[in-house]
Amino acid sequence: MKIHNITDSYKLSNSYSVILCDLWGVVHNGKEIFEKSKVFLERVKEDGKKIVLISNAPRPNSMVEDQLINKLGLNKNLYDFIVTSGDITVNFLNHKSFGKTYYHLGPMKDKDLLSNIEINQAEELFQADFVLCTGIDDDELETVNDYKHILNDMKKLKLPMVCANPDKIVYRGEKKIDCAGALAFNYEKMGGIVKYFGKPYNEIYEYILNRLNINNENILKKDLLAIGDSFSTDILGANNFNIDVLFIRSGIHKNEIVLNNEIEKIAKNYLPNLPIKLLTSEYL
C-alpha cells in the first residue's frame, strides 16, 4: 500500500466536478463546524463545483440540514443537497417488501424518519416482521451493553434487523458515542440477520449519481471525489463504488493514528484488501 499525503485538499479537488463529503468527523464534530472544512467548501463552491453532503445519519436530510444551519451555523449555499442513510432506508422500506410491520429500536428524536415510512409500526416486538434500528435511546448514558436483553428477544423471535446507520461509533466533541451500527454488529455476532443502508453500501452512492444526472448532465464516477474519515464506511464505500476517496486523519481514527506511517497498519486492520493507493490529509 502506498500512502499519499495530500497537503492541499482544495488543489486535489480541481480534478473533479463533484465532491461527496462526509459530515461528522470531516465537516463538524456534533458541536461545531471545523473552520478549515468551511473554507474548503467555500472555495470549491466558488469554482462552480457540486457538493453533496453524504451522511450515515438515521434521519431525513431535512433534519440534518436544520441542525447544520440552525445549530452549527453552516451556510446553505455551501452545498447542493444532502443524502442520509435514513433517506435510503425509507426509500427501500416504502418500495420493496421487507415486511408489513416494523418495531422501532432507537431514540424518539428519530420520529421524523418514522413519519415518512408507509408501513405499520408495531408497539411490541412479537407483533413485528422486522426491527428498524436507528440507534441507542440515550447515547450519552447508554452503550450497546445495555441492549443485550432486547437483542436476545429479537433473536428468539428470529426477527431480521434493518439498520439505518452503519456507523458503530462517532465522537461528539471528544466523547465516544455508540451508534446503530454497533447494535447491528452485535446482533450479527449473535447470529441475527441484518440489512444495512448507507455507507459503505452501494445504494446510497447509486442514488446520488442518479440524482446528479437527473437532468442528463452525464456525470460519471471518474468525476466524483469522496471525502471521509472512516475506513469501514467512507473508504470502503468509495472503493466498493469505484470512485476516488480522500481519507481525513483527524476524524474517527484520530486516536489510533500517532504517526503517518501507522496509517498503513490501521488501514489493513480494517480493510485487508484495500487498494494499494490511499490519499490522506490531516484536515479538510
Is-contact 204 238, C-beta < 8 A?
A: no
157 and 111 part of one domain: yes
The answer to whether residue 169 is domain-embedded is yes
- pLDDT of 258 higher than 80: no
140 and 235 part of one domain: no
Is-contact 171 30, C-beta < 8 A?
A: yes
| Domain closes at, from 196, 214, 243 | 196
| Domain closes at, from 156, 175, 196 | 196
The answer to whether residue 92 is domain-embedded is yes
| Domain closes at, from 128, 161, 196 | 196
The answer to whether residue 260 is domain-embedded is yes
Looking at the structure of the chain, the number of domains it has is: 2
- pLDDT of 263 higher than 90: no
The answer to whether residue 68 is domain-embedded is no
122 and 46 part of one domain: no
- pLDDT of 137 higher than 60: yes
Q: Looking at residue 267, which CATH number applies to its domain?
A: 3.40.50.1000
The answer to whether residue 70 is domain-embedded is no
Is-contact 219 209, C-beta < 8 A?
A: yes
Could you give the CA distance from residue 123 to residue 72 in angstroms, rounded to a whole number?
35
115 and 186 part of one domain: yes
104 and 189 part of one domain: yes
Amino acid identity, position 17: S
Amino acid identity, position 245: V
119 and 139 part of one domain: yes
Name which residue leads in pLDDT, 246 or 259.
246
Beta-bridge mates of residue 28:
24, 33
- pLDDT of 217 higher than 70: yes
- At 172 the pLDDT is 82
- pLDDT of 281 higher than 90: yes
- At 266 the pLDDT is 85
177 and 209 part of one domain: no
Instruction: Residue count of the chain, please give it.
Output: 284
190 and 94 part of one domain: yes
Domain extent, residue 49, equals 2-56+200-281
Residue 68's alpha-carbon distances to 78, 82, 146, 242, in angstroms, are: 11, 11, 30, 29
101 and 190 part of one domain: yes
The answer to whether residue 95 is domain-embedded is yes
Average pLDDT of the residues of the chain: 92
Could you give the CA distance from residue 7 to residue 255 in angstroms, rounded to a whole number?
21
130 and 218 part of one domain: no
E strand residue ranges, 211-276: 224-228, 244-248
Cα radius of gyration (the chain): 19
- At 121 the pLDDT is 96
Q: What are the counts of helices (DSSP H) followed by strands (DSSP E) for the chain?
A: 10, 14
- At 139 the pLDDT is 80
Residue 183's alpha-carbon distances to 37, 59, 103, 131, 134, in angstroms, are: 30, 17, 15, 12, 9
For the segment 31-41, the average pLDDT, to the nearest whole number, is 96
- At 34 the pLDDT is 96
- pLDDT of 282 higher than 60: yes
The answer to whether residue 218 is domain-embedded is yes
C-alpha cell at 69: 444551519
- pLDDT of 225 higher than 90: yes
92 and 192 part of one domain: yes
The answer to whether residue 28 is domain-embedded is yes
For the segment 209-236, the average pLDDT, to the nearest whole number, is 94
132 and 164 part of one domain: yes
- pLDDT of 197 higher than 60: yes
